[in-house]
Structure 1
Amino acid sequence: MRERTIDPRPVHRRGTGLLSTLLLVWLAIGLIAAGQRHYFDSGPLSCAGWGTIAVTALAGPLNYAGLNPTVTDCVLPEPSQ
């Protein structure tokens, strides 16, 4: 009889690398769209500016389909004293 050995290397699921690559490409396209809209020129000075950059990056290629996500009002909680 043949002795079975256990391979100590982790088993990778098929498609995990592809999914990770697609996610990185999606976010890169979103960041390129934010750059083309000049969101990085002066730097965001408010919560709304950071939020607009974030939703633009998350929207990814949808920006080129006419989606123009913006954050207009952002309220941060005040620290308690």
Structure 2
Amino acid sequence: MRIGSALVAIWLIIGVLATWQRGYFTGTENPDCERLGTVVITIVAGPLNYVGLNPKVEECDLPEPSQ
């Protein structure tokens, strides 16, 4: 169980490193849905970023609340 938790933590740390290296944490004060989605998916992809995966969210349509 501890090994699995450690592997998940390392995976996510590598994803944060890849996100930081691509400059996704800087630039805008009010990030839009696409930017936030790209940051999250890049972090989740982790080490796959370094073997050529470049995940991006192109469209993001948030649901509108019902009236």
Query: Which of the five TM-score ranges fits, normalised by the shorter chain?
Result: over 0.9
Alignment of 1:52-67 (within 5 A): 52-67=38-53
What TM-score do the two structures reach when normalised by structure 1? 0.77
Partner of 1:28: 13
Answer with 1 or 2: which has the greater Rg: 1
Amino acid of the structure 1 residue aligned with 2:5: S
Q: Does 1:18 align with 2:3?
A: yes
Structure 2 distance, partners of 1:41, 1:53, is 11
Deviation (angstroms), 1:25: 0.3
Runs (4+) off by over 2 Å? none
| Greater share of residues in helix | 2
Percent of aligned pairs sharing the same letter: 50
Deviation (angstroms), 1:42: 1.9
Deviations 1:39-70 (A, max 9, x none): 00124611111110011001100000010000
Unmatched tracts of structure 1, length 5 or more: 1-15
Q: Which has the higher contact order (CA 8 A, sep 6+)?
A: 2
What TM-score do the two structures reach when normalised by structure 2? 0.92
